Amino acid sequence: MTRILGLVAINVILIILLGLFTPYFLTKSNLVVMADNIALEMLILGGYTLLMIGGYFDLSVDGIIALTGVIAGLLMNSGIPWYLAIVTALSVSGIIGLINGVVVAKIGINGFIATLTTWWLCQGFSFGLTKATAPYGFPEIFLVFGQSRVLGFKSFVLYAIITTVLLHLILKYTVQGRHIYASGGDKITSQRMGIRTTKIGINLYILMGVLSGFVGLILASRLDAASPIAVDGTALRVIAALVIGGCSLNGGRGTIIGGVLGLIMMHILSNSIIQIGFNPYWQKVLLGSVLLIAALSEKVNFTRRSDNV
């Protein structure tokens, strides 16, 4: 709770300062753009929070996003109805998540290595299927998926809010949520208590696959093109937001609310660089510095908790 209140205070202070000293930060157009960008990563963040609390990592997110959009785009361009293209692409993303889950949670391969491999494979298939030329010109009804607006915001902002709230409720108020916390905190003890940790891990990776695929479809619809390089560093930015929000790299601890606040802070900082007039290429330096501070803070807190046990 202390971390969450601290992030709320930091975000409020940043918003006030930028509103006072920059002329465009609090304009409607800028806030809408920020909300759109935050929403795309929020769709990933909810599932990733559950995954990280469960003690796992997934670096294949960017690759799945790209491959899902490419598959849907190629199918639609070949004459397949848009709804069948969506179902097929999401099925592929879910299967990739299943493979990740089996390899990591059941077989026991290191999650970083396994999902990094999956990312490369997905990226390679995306380039191979398209020859680096993005399919485009999709049916109008498909474009509504990522281009329609609700109260001035893109419709996927609403999708992100619904998904985030639903996953928050599952994590906080259900037996499955408690099992995820327990599994990430101590897998051996959880298994002795009868918790099916392997099944939890597989299901979490499937969830990540489907959510990543969903974002891939939204991007293809939003851009009316399915680029094999549609995103860059989404997984790493989400991980950074979760660490900033208090999610433990060791599993067993964290909240979706903290992750969302961390994500908002990262986007405010990125936007502030542009508003102040700095070169936008320095964004990664700033965000990397914030992540390093958050990681060091997590290390200090973990050491203190270990000493108190």
Domain membership flag for residue 16:
no
Give the tokens for residue 197: 């940790």
Name the residue among 85, 63, 44, 53 with its Cα closest to residue 237.
44
Name the residue among 217, 211, 178 with its Cα closest to residue 73.
217
Helix (H, G, I), strand (E, B) or coil at 85: helix
Q: Is the pLDDT of residue 53 over 70?
A: yes
pLDDT for the residue 134:
87
- Better-predicted residue by pLDDT, 217 or 308: 217
One-letter amino acid identity for 195?
Answer: I
Measure the CA–CA gap between 226 and 135, rounded to whole angstroms.
Answer: 6
Give the tokens for residue 136: 């485009």
- Better-predicted residue by pLDDT, 231 or 214: 214
Could you give the residue ranges of the DSSP H alpha helices within the chain? 2-21, 28-53, 61-77, 82-101, 111-130, 140-147, 155-173, 175-185, 187-192, 197-223, 234-244, 256-276, 283-308
Domain membership flag for residue 96:
yes
Q: Is the pLDDT of residue 216 over 90?
A: yes
If pLDDT is split at 50, 70 and 90, which confidence band does 286 have? confident
Domain membership flag for residue 37:
yes
Mean pLDDT, residues 62-80: 95
Residue-level length of the chain: 309
Q: Is the pLDDT of residue 215 over 90?
A: yes
End-to-end CA distance of the chain: 21
Mean pLDDT, residues 276-294: 73
pLDDT for the residue 270:
85
| Residues 138-193: tens digit of each pLDDT | 999 999 988 998 888 899 999 999 999 999 999 999 999 999 999 998 888 999 99
| Residues 95-131: tens digit of each pLDDT | 999 999 999 999 999 999 999 999 999 999 999 999 8
Domain membership flag for residue 253:
no
- Better-predicted residue by pLDDT, 131 or 213: 213
- Percent pLDDT > 90 in the chain is 60
50 forms bridges with which residues in the sheet?
none
If pLDDT is split at 50, 70 and 90, which confidence band does 307 have? low
Domain membership flag for residue 181:
yes
153 forms bridges with which residues in the sheet?
150
> How many domains are there within the chain?
1
Measure the CA–CA gap between 241 and 303, rounded to whole angstroms.
Answer: 21
Domain membership flag for residue 141:
yes
Domain span at 51: 29-231
If pLDDT is split at 50, 70 and 90, which confidence band does 302 have? low
- Better-predicted residue by pLDDT, 306 or 2: 2
Domain membership flag for residue 67:
yes
- Better-predicted residue by pLDDT, 300 or 5: 5
Domain membership flag for residue 84:
yes
